[in-house]
Chain A
Amino acid sequence: MAKTTLPGAQKLNGWLRKVPAWPIYLIAVLPPAWYLYQGLTGGLGVDPVKAMEHALGLLALQVLVATLLVTPLRTYTGLNLIKYRRALGLVGFFYVVLHLTVWWVLDVQLLSEVWKDIVKRPYITIGMGAFLLLIPLAITSNNRSIRKVGPLVWKRIHMLAYPAILLGAVHFVWLRKGFQLEPLLYLAGIILLLVIRIEWKRRRAVA
């Protein structure tokens, strides 16, 4: 992989050194809080349950895609956002949990039906699989875990993000009626982000 540094990237990196990651956690609370407020006051339309469920799911996918963008951005532009990646990953996981909570508590409502859906409906099985893959990542997203398992094993564990996010996109494509453009664009984008990683690996192996 040929590293490039766009003009201005270094300058931007210099500024970002002064910007900590922790505000991301605070900002992350705002969209769900806004959805809840809107849902309670009619701002989400006549079907607020689905609107909230879908908004949270899409938000989760978007934030998780952002975590996949960090490395290519550094490689192709020189912009270094790595210190924000953990916060983005955890926020994405937080949104997935909220998405699941709305689905269970407000939409399906019965635990027995939730279980039936997971077992019988492939797109829900896939979504749930993506969630399960994210759990070890969320648990180990702290410095202590890196020290405990060692950076190599930790890195391996966090490669689970790739299948998890891919499954998330498949879940999105599959739940729509017919083939629709929006989820297909997400899927295509994610596949591209994964393919460039495979390509990097291949080149490293050759070199």
Chain B
Amino acid sequence: MSYRFRTDLKWSDATPKEAFFNRRQIMTGAAAMAAGTMIGGIPGATQAQAFGVPIEREANSLDDITSYNNYYEFGTGKGDPKENAGDLVTDPWVIQVGGMVDNPGNYSVADLTDGLDVHDRLYRFRCVEAWSMVVPWNGVQLGDILNKVGVQSGAKYVSFTTAVKPDVMPGVRFPVLDWPYREGLRLDEAMHPLTLLATGIYDEPLYNQNGAPIRLVVPWKYGFKSIKAIVTINLTDEEPDTSWNLANAREYGFYSNVNPQVDHPRWSQATERPIGGGLFAKRIETLMFNGYADEVASMYEGMDLSVDI
């Protein structure tokens, strides 16, 4: 897959600076300069030209993005991750790459991303709970990383797991899910240029509550597919287990592509509530593949998307 996205929109055009330069971010100029030399928290990585898929909504503020999170390892409340994630140590961080790869082993975030293009991507983010945000990510394409570690022929899926650290993750002491959190993609989905491993938001390193130090972003799928704080990446030839599918297969499928025509059994997926609009925000229509149909629909040709949810 080697096409380029047709757009002249840069996310910097859509990002209101004042929205994210809130009080907390305005530090001394020197500190800001120092932060600026680290792009998305990755030393040594080069910045690729900014581009994204046109979005008619403004990006959410950093405050929205960092205070409203589903990250059950830190609690099931939306504000719990912000409150509880502070003690997670994300440096050093080891990502175990294994399975059907040429170069298995333990990698640091820098090892994995070194030399790869860092992209700025303004993506819609649609939660299965029918709320949505627009997030300016910084990250590398998962496909670039997979090419780097060398995918062996015969591999068909990629699986990921999130860290489990009971001493700093109060949520894992209660079996809401079967920990560790697990997610997976088909190899073509993983290699798709839209699929990111994000390391930053708004040119800042990821906050812990957003999945620091490195997380998946698959913008055409419901948010729970975009697994946070990744500690293993595994290439397999069998469809991997995924956490929400294990918890409730009727409600959460392996693919979990955003699809306004297929309702979640407990709520409609036809519309979504944009976060950040206040008490009287209007609902908006949910788009097929979250608005990325032109880019990704071809991967699902011949599949019945009301069955392969």
Q: How far is the CA of A125 from the CA of B105 in the complex (A)?
A: 51
* Any A CB within 8 A of the CB of B117: no
Residue B99 at the chain A interface, CB threshold 8 Å: no
The main secondary structure of chain B at its interface with chain A is loop
Chain B positions within 8 Å of A116 at CB level: 268
Of the listed stretches A8-16, A44-52, A151-159, A192-200, chain B binds A44-52
The answer to whether the Cβ of A39 comes within 8 Å of any Cβ in the partner chain is yes
Contact B247 A46 (CB under 8 A): no
* Chain A contact residues, CB within 8 Å of chain B: 39-40, 45-50, 52, 106-110, 113, 116-117, 120-123, 174-181
- Looking across the interface, which residue of chain B has its beta carbon closest to that of A178? B176
The main secondary structure of chain A at its interface with chain B is helix
Sampled A-B contacts (26; CB under 8 Å): A40-B278, A40-B279, A45-B67, A45-B68, A45-B79, A46-B68, A47-B78, A47-B273, A47-B275, A48-B279, A49-B281, A50-B131, A52-B279, A107-B273, A110-B283, A113-B268, A113-B271, A116-B268, A117-B267, A117-B268, A121-B265, A121-B266, A178-B76, A178-B177, A178-B248, A180-B76
Partner of B68, one of A47, A52, A120: A47
A107 to B129, CA, bound (A): 12
| Chain A min CB distance to B254 (Å) | 17
List of B residues within 8 angstroms of A117 by Cβ: 267-268
Q: Interface code B129-141, partner A: CB below 8 Å = 1, 0 otherwise?
A: 1010000000000
B102 at the interface (CB under 8 A from A): no
B67:A46 contact, CB within 8 angstroms = yes
Q: Is the CB of A46 within 8 A of B176?
A: no
CB-CB < 8 A to A45: which residues of B?
A: 67-68, 78-79
Which residues of chain B are within 8 angstroms of A122 by Cβ–Cβ distance?
Answer: 266
Binding site for A on B (CB under 8 A): 60, 63-64, 67-68, 72, 76, 78-79, 129, 131, 174, 176-177, 244, 247-248, 263, 265-268, 271, 273, 275-276, 278-283
Q: Which residue of B lies closest to A44 (CB)?
A: B279
CB pair B278 A109 closer than 8 Å: no
Min CB distance B84 to A, Å, is: 15
Give the docked Cα–Cα distance between A174 and B63 (Å): 30
| Minimum CB–CB distance for A97 against chain B, Å | 18
How distant is A167 from chain B, measured CB to nearest CB, in Å?
16
By CB atoms of chain B within 10 A, which of A39, A109, A178 has the most?
A178
Indicate which residue in A109, A120, A180, A181 contacts B282 across the interface (CB closer than 8 Å). Answer: A109
Q: Cβ of B79: which chain A residues have Cβ within 8 Å of it? A: 45
In the bound complex, how far is the Cα of B271 from the Cα of A107, in angstroms? 11
- Which single member of B68, B176, B279 contacts A106 (CB below 8 Å)? B279
